[in-house]
Structure 1
Amino acid sequence: MKLIKTLLVAGSLLLGTAHAAPSDFLVSTDWLEKNISDPKLRLIEVSVNPGVFERGHIQGATNFSWHTDLVDPVRRDIVSQQNFEKLLRNAGVNNDSTVVLYGDNNNWFAAWGAWVFDIYGVKNVKLLDGGRKKWEAENRPLTPVAIQHAAGNIKVGAANPKLRANLGDVVAVANKQSDAKLVDIRSADEYNGKVFAPAGVQELAIRAGHVPGAANVPWGQAVAADGTFKTVDELKKVYGAVGIDGSKPIITYCRIGERSSHTWFALSKLLGYDVRNYDGSWTEYGNAVGVPVSNPAGTVWGGK
């Protein structure tokens, strides 16, 4: 009996330091290569760099362009329910499909895709842990040849507003009218107002800085050197160090909502916290009139 108890305790310790149920939300590169020919598998690449899919992608993958396929082409909004269902059916996604998303830049936009999938209630959606970065680093095969899947039959539900934060939700936190916790996942220089945005980007805001009360945990602190997510225990320590422990609702934001969706995935899917992604992020908040801003660096927009 004593031996059994010892084994159970040891097993629980091992589980505690492992990734959170990877089979539920993550798949490894090994798993994907072994299951690449599964007829129920639908692989979707969502990358940010133009042409990367065409130069070479994982066998059987369909390419989704985040800035045209996953958003409304006219309104600043996510893709509509009708258009999203059409997009998925054209990619061969069925109601019983297993969807695996992956992309470049440590899965930034693949995580955005996972967030959109979740908003519309699509089940059995996972990220390739480590994304293209890990797949390529391991010299796994890529192909430039795209295939056309037979049309799928998936039915997409109505959007779930509980997974999405808006400007009013964030202002309420800034004005201490809400007990939600804000996580700003941008770089320290963006957070402190030293720069308005990362070098070379087009989306800018009139004001620099961050939402008052937001904790700064740059998105990269959630991943290991190979681009895979850190273990559950490691993630809890990273966010717990700034008071993010799941005891209060959480809102993540960045500049346009893509890096924050990566943190949304870590906090929501891997840690099981109550999290909303604010996709308006700093390009909306930093351009809004009359909202409070914290700008430690004191940088003022010069119109240049």
Structure 2
Amino acid sequence: MSFKRLIAVSLAAFGLAGPAWAASPYLVTTEWVEQNLDNPKVRLVEVSVNPGLYERGHIPGAVNYNWHTDLVDTVARDIVPQAQFQELLRKSGINDDTVTVLYGDNNNWFAAWGAWIFDIYGIDNVKILDGGRKKWEAESRPLSAAAPVPQPGNVTAKTANPTLRAYLSDVRDVANKASDAHLVDIRSADEYNGKIFAPNGVPELSVRAGHVPGAVNVTWSKLVAEDGTFKPVEELKAIYEEVGVDGSKPIITYCRIGERSSHSWFALKKLLGYDVRNYDGSWTEYGNSVGSPIANPAGTVWGNT
């Protein structure tokens, strides 16, 4: 048996490999999590978007992060500030040597956002539960309504890493061909083509429909299997290579508000190892910005739909 294969088998034995893709240090299985529910070195964090979901039942021992208040700045449109994030982590009982496992609803959209924030502030040993709540519940694994009160932790959040985040000016430069990068629009085909402005029922809107010129459309859902786990690495590579994204130059992911695109950022950055930034301003910023070019194949006009 080759050394590489031996490592893969060993990792799989500890639940650090998904059911179909090559071993990754950034994902854990439901089996691994259940085996480590009482491990003091492991902290589970739920980041779901549906209100009350955590309160009705969560993985035993998991703390709850509210995306709308804990992981973003509630005044400025920005990510949570460094000091506030560090305080949140310490209140959660996270230490410098803690293995933090994030999971949530909606195929881990907001858990992936959390992983992106953890990465920005240089917090190591962070993993995502492959398949999230969907897989955990489908397997009838234990749930608890009790919210833990951990002992304060000592983790230190580092200065924000600018290489993981894209801004409006970065995306506009690519659109105007002043910068060379792959833009990956991970929204639905109807959003990308301008047929709709946003999914039904969402509050954040842009007054223009369409996409950033030059962006390719790889819907986030193409990356996951039926059970919510990520597809094998070779399949992920093939999906992106089909639209010309092969990791040969920097990549910027975007969606509507940055949460779905953080899921694709995770796949591209953590599973494929590409140079990737997430544009959290996404279409609600870009589509509303004055002077930014757009592509709108459907020709949809605001107020005339």
Answer yes or no: is the 8 Å Cα contact 1:27–1:129 preserved in 2. Answer: yes
Structure 1 segment 284-295 matched on structure 2, within 5 A:
284-295=285-296
SS in 1 for 2:289: coil
1:77 to 1:10, Cα distance in 2 relative to 1, 3 A: closer
Pair 1:21-2:27 in alignment: no
The equivalent of 1:137 in structure 2 is 138
Q: Could you tell me how far 1:8 is from its partner in structure 2?
A: 4.0
Q: Could you tell me how far 1:36 is from its partner in structure 2?
A: 1.0
Structure 1 segment 150-299 matched on structure 2, within 5 A:
150-299=151-300
Normalising by structure 2, report the TM-score. Answer: 0.94
1:210-252 CA-to-partner distances (Å, cap 9, x unmatched) read 0000000000001111000011100000111001100010000
How far, CA to CA, are the matches of 2:56 and 2:168 in structure 1?
38
How far, CA to CA, are the matches of 1:178 and 1:248 in structure 2?
11
Normalising by structure 1, report the TM-score. Answer: 0.94
How far, CA to CA, are the matches of 2:266 and 2:120 in structure 1?
12
How far, CA to CA, are the matches of 1:20 and 1:214 in structure 2?
28
Q: Could you tell me how far 1:21 is from its partner in structure 2?
A: 2.9
How far, CA to CA, are the matches of 2:125 and 2:162 in structure 1?
20
1:179 to 1:42, Cα distance in 2 relative to 1, 3 A: same
SS in 2 for 1:100: strand
1:49 to 1:303, Cα distance in 2 relative to 1, 3 A: farther
The equivalent of 1:87 in structure 2 is 88
How far, CA to CA, are the matches of 1:67 and 1:165 in structure 2?
20
Give the letter aligned to residue 228 of structure 2: G
Q: Could you tell me how far 1:73 is from its partner in structure 2?
A: 1.2
Unpaired segments ≥5 residues, structure 1? 1-6
Structure 1 segment 59-70 matched on structure 2, within 5 A:
59-70=60-71
SS in 2 for 1:101: strand
Answer yes or no: is the 8 Å Cα contact 1:20–1:271 preserved in 2. Answer: no
1:155 to 1:234, Cα distance in 2 relative to 1, 3 A: same
The alignment's C-alpha RMSD in Å is 1.7
Q: Could you tell me how far 1:11 is from its partner in structure 2?
A: 4.5
| Corresponding residue pairs, total | 295
Give the letter aligned to residue 97 of structure 1: T
Give the letter aligned to residue 259 of structure 1: R
Deviation >2 Å, runs of 4+: 7-12, 17-22
The equivalent of 1:128 in structure 2 is 129
Give the letter aligned to residue 186 of structure 2: I
1:122-160 CA-to-partner distances (Å, cap 9, x unmatched) read 000000000000000000010111110000111110000
How far, CA to CA, are the matches of 2:171 and 2:201 in structure 1?
27
The equivalent of 1:77 in structure 2 is 78
SS in 1 for 2:177: coil
Give the letter aligned to residue 296 of structure 2: N
1:68 to 1:303, Cα distance in 2 relative to 1, 3 A: farther
The equivalent of 2:15 in structure 1 is none
Pair 1:118-2:119 in alignment: yes
Unpaired segments ≥5 residues, structure 2? 10-18
How far, CA to CA, are the matches of 1:184 and 1:198 in structure 2?
15
1:81-138 CA-to-partner distances (Å, cap 9, x unmatched) read 0000000000000011000000000000000000000000000000000000000000
SS in 2 for 1:126: strand
Give the letter aligned to residue 117 of structure 1: F
Q: Could you tell me how far 1:78 is from its partner in structure 2?
A: 0.3
